[in-house]
Structure 1
Amino acid sequence: MKRLTSALALAALAACLGLPALADITVTDLRGRTVTIPKPAEKVMLGFYFEDFLAITGPGAIDRVVAISRPVWEGWRPFQWKEYVAAMPRLDTLPDVGDTETSTFSIEKAIAAGPDLAILAAWQYDALGENVRQFEAAGIPVVVLDYNAQTLERHLLSTRVLGAVMGQPERAEALAALYEAKTLDTLARVAKAGPSGKRVYVELAQKGPAEVGNTYGNGMWAGIIDMAGGANIAKGQIENWGPLAPEFVLAAQPDVILLTGSEWLNRPASVPLGFGATESLANERMATYAARPGWADLPAVKNGQVYGVYHGGTRTLSDFVYGRYIAKALYPEAFADVDPAAEIAAYYAEWLPISAAGVFVAHLQ
């Protein structure tokens, strides 16, 4: 009764002062679920999309996080992680709830951290299945985002949902407008240039040239290739991600090859791209892929059309840069005035607490 009386008193005071009344925040998340919270979240369990969360929530964002899925940040992007820890030391002290991909995710640990909101990627939500109900039983609402789909619609919706639940609709709208404008500009240039007809092969360059890495048939890099107007050779061959047979790649005769690199540890033959990467080492490792049996005869290799892109850049609000980089490879004249490396630097300078120190796109020389 006392709580109700206090709430009524606050509402009456707000009315007397001409202040807006407190109102619930209701969103429809990326699984079509209606989620209502009483106010912007202050204690978040953050599963993924870390940089997007920081960009949208703005200064002080890390102070509103109480737990994270640390393996999918520190484990997947170790040098990026170090940059953020240096900028935000609190990050290194947050409880780790584990990883759904390795079946180490602990809902018990997540609940024990005392969040008032759990934010999950769609793939994490799907992996948890019925176990998500444990959050709800504990009174913790769950919001699902999906940048992995790599579509303009779902990127924009994820951004606006995140902005709403974090009380930052203006920042979210500004980021959505930036992403939409850059994407539509890319699409307009591609449409004006006409279909390239160029066949594109993308490979996760993590394991080294001796072993074939994943390619993408839908979502992630496949979505970016589609947007950029390329003909993805994995389309119809791979549902989401997985390796193509080496013989298939040779027979497909790709005109453009994209090697996605990152900051993987204990992967001495991988293509190193991202934070702390150098042009010289990236080129050296990319050259080992181009030297695979039969690759010297591929149009992409013969014509100098082998490129590297930062794997950590996909499924983020900055991935419009990689779409423009790939489109520039397909339509060099149409994108002659576009500088993707400068655009990624500008994005970090404007929206994130660290700078883009490293190599995020590379052209095999």
Structure 2
Amino acid sequence: MALFRLARHARALCAGAARRTFVRATLRATLRATASALIGTAALLPTAWAKPITVTDVLGRQVQVESPARRVVLGFHFEEFTAIAGAPAWSRVVGISRTGWAGWRAGNWARYTEVIPGLKDLPDVGFTDDSSFSAEKVIALRPDVLILPEWGWNALGPAAAQLQAAGVPVVVVDYNAQTLERHLASTRLIGSVMGATARAETLARLYQAKVDDVMARIARAPKTAAPKVYVELGRDGAGTIGNSYQGTMWGRMVTTVGGQNLADRHLKSPWGPLNPEVVLAENPDHVLIAGSSWANRPQAVRLGYASDDATARATLRPYAERAGWPGLTAVRRQQVFTIDHGLCRTLTDYTALQFIAKQLYPAQFADVDPAAELRRYHEQFLPVAYGGTWFLSLKP
């Protein structure tokens, strides 16, 4: 009998232990499920908290949007969007104008598709620059907002009325004007739409501080005749005369830092090729050839993530060897340099401004390292690692 009672007591103990184990396991599972639910809810908070706000875009248009925007179609300035809104914000992008990135800046596109899930599979709504833009495709994506550059908005034509009739808010930004005011306004505007005002403000203040520093250094430079600068797009090789720029892009940046841009006196349109005889007659002090990572441009000056100094110099050197060019002041003094074309009209163009100013006023910018500045920008604001060659003088 005693043995029977002992066995029964043992079974009771085992059963109690099993129940306690079961309870503990159940509690752990419940806690895990609750934690997962909380994490999931936190991830959805920007969507849950979206509310209508009214923003004023760079054209002075008042636009009502849901902020943070939950469904975004992006027409350009993809890397600016990434820096301002953060890489996770791409989960809220439902369509892009693919040509403006994959076609114009193939090297950059390749890097970003490696780190942003689903980027390469996003629907393409067409591009205003080549008249392939489709309002119908945008409307079908049911976006909360379409973000366009000013030149994209100006090219919409009848599509603007279609978007308005469908209730698609269009917010216009503008880095192309290359003014401090527009850069800052566009950055803060994207921040407001995406619910990233703090990050946008950090970027706006950084940009203003860097530009202010460039201009202050130039103001301290000795007052001499403004150096003459010839600018050319190095997309098709030295055998082809590429576009120069008057009042815009690289031409504007040259005049901003106090240089004489040759195209300002010889071009009647914002861009186009200068007569080779004009360049020889003007005898520039500096030559800027814009390079990049264009697709299907084998003769281009190669810059960007996939380039290096040796490749950049090898593709830049043929320009200095053009007929008559060895006698130019810029070539004799080894003042021929290249900058990645994609750095123009961006939130990182202050690094290009620094590099141009450093060529024109080396003493005032001796302690400025544009490449290090661009590296820091990547580390702070972009999901892709810095690498490659973005600025280079032909002189080692």
What aligned pairs does 1:58-137 form with structure 2 within 5 A after superposition?
58-137=86-165
Greater Rg, structure 1 or structure 2? 2
Question: Counterpart of 1:283?
Answer: 313
| Partner residue, 2:350 | 320
Offset of residue 269 of structure 1 = 1.1
In the alignment, the residues of structure 2 paired with residue 360 and residue 193 of structure 1 have an alpha-carbon distance, to the nearest angstrom, of 26
Aligned mates of 1:298, 1:136 — CA distance in 2: 54
Distance apart, 1:40 and its partner CA: 2.1
Query: AA paired with 1:36?
Result: Q
Deviates more, 1:218-227 or 1:119-128: 218-227
State whether residues 199 and 254 of structure 1, in contact with CA within 8 Å, keep that contact through their aligned partners in structure 2: yes
What residue is the counterpart of 2:394 in the other structure? Answer: 364
CA contact (8 A) 1:77 1:264 kept: yes
Query: For residue 336 of structure 1, what is the amino acid of its counterpart?
Result: A
Deviations 1:191-224 (A, max 9, x none): 1104451001111100111111111111221222
Of residues 248, 264, 267, the one that matches 1:219 is 248
1:306-341 Cα distance to aligned partner (Å, 9 max, x none): 001000111110110000000000000000000111
Structure 2 CA distance for partners of 1:62 and 1:336, relative to 1, 3 Å: same
Shift of 1:129: 2.4
TM-score by length of 2: 0.85
Partner in structure 2 of residue 335 of structure 1: 365
Task: Point out where structure 1 has 5 or more consecutive residues left out of the alignment.
Answer: 1-20
Question: What is aligned with 1:271?
Answer: 301
CA shift, 1:22, in A, is 8.0
- Alignment partners' CA distance in 1, 2:357 and 2:146: 36
Residue 336 (structure 2) pairs with residue 306 (structure 1): yes
SS at match of 1:345: helix
Query: Is 2:183 the counterpart of 1:155?
Result: yes
Provide, for residues 71-116 of structure 1, a one-character-per-residue CA deviation record: whole Å limited to 9, x for no partner. 1101111111111000013101100112222211111112112211
After superposition, where does 1:28-67 map in structure 2 within 5 Å? 28-67=56-95
Distance 1:130 1:237, change over 3 A: farther
Q: Distance in 2 between matches of 1:204 and 1:107?
A: 32
Indicate how the Cα distance of structure 1 residues 194 and 97 shifts in structure 2: closer, same or farther if over 3 A, else same.
Answer: farther
Distance in 1 (alpha carbons) for counterparts of 2:110 and 2:126: 19
Q: Spell out, residue by residue over 1:253-303, the C-alpha distance to the aligned partner (whole angstroms, 9 max, x if none).
A: 111111110111221211001110111111111110111111111111010
Q: Alpha-carbon deviation of 1:236? A: 3.8
Structure 2 Cα separation of the partners of residues 245 and 226 of structure 1: 21
How many aligned positions are there?
345
CA shift for structure 1 position 38: 3.6
CA distance in 1, matches of 2:266, 2:207: 30
Question: 1:353 aligns to what?
Answer: 383
| Distance (whole Å) between structure 1 residues aligned to residue 87 and residue 103 of structure 2 | 25
In structure 1, the partner of 2:214 is 186
The superposition leaves residues 151-208 of structure 1 with CA deviations (integer Å, 9 ceiling, x where unpaired) of 1111111111111111111111110000000000000000110445100111110011
Q: Could you say if the C-alpha distance between residues 195 and 272 of structure 1 is closer, same or farther in structure 2, counting changes exceeding 3 Å?
A: farther
CA RMSD of aligned residues (A): 1.4
Note if 1:229 corresponds to 2:249: no
Match of 1:97, SS? coil
CA deviation map 1:215-248 (0-9, x unaligned): 1111221222122221111114333211111111
The aligned counterpart of 1:258 is 288
- The 4+ residue runs of structure 1 with deviation greater than 4 A are none
Q: Residues of 2 paired with 1:208 and 1:92: CA distance?
A: 30
**TM-score scaled to structure 1, two decimals?**
0.92
Identity %: 49
Among 172, 176, 198, which residue is 1:144 paired with? Answer: 172
Query: Is contact 2:134–2:159 with CA below 8 Å preserved after alignment?
Result: no
Distance 2:228 2:368 in 1: 22
SS in 1 for 2:109: helix
- Structure 1's 265 and 195: CA in aligned 2 closer, same or farther, altered over 3 A? farther
- Aligned partner of 2:26 in structure 1 is none
Contact kept? 1:117, 1:140, Cα under 8 Å: yes
Equivalent position SS for 2:155: helix
Q: Deviations over 1:116-138 (max 9, x none)?
A: 10000111111112321211111
**Amino acid corresponding to residue 252 of structure 1 in structure 2:** E
- Distance in 1, Cα, partners of 2:263 & 2:331: 18
> How many angstroms apart in 2 are the aligned matches of 1:45 and 1:221?
29
Contact 1:25–1:40 (CA under 8 A) maintained in structure 2: no
Say whether residues 1:177 and 2:208 are aligned partners.
no
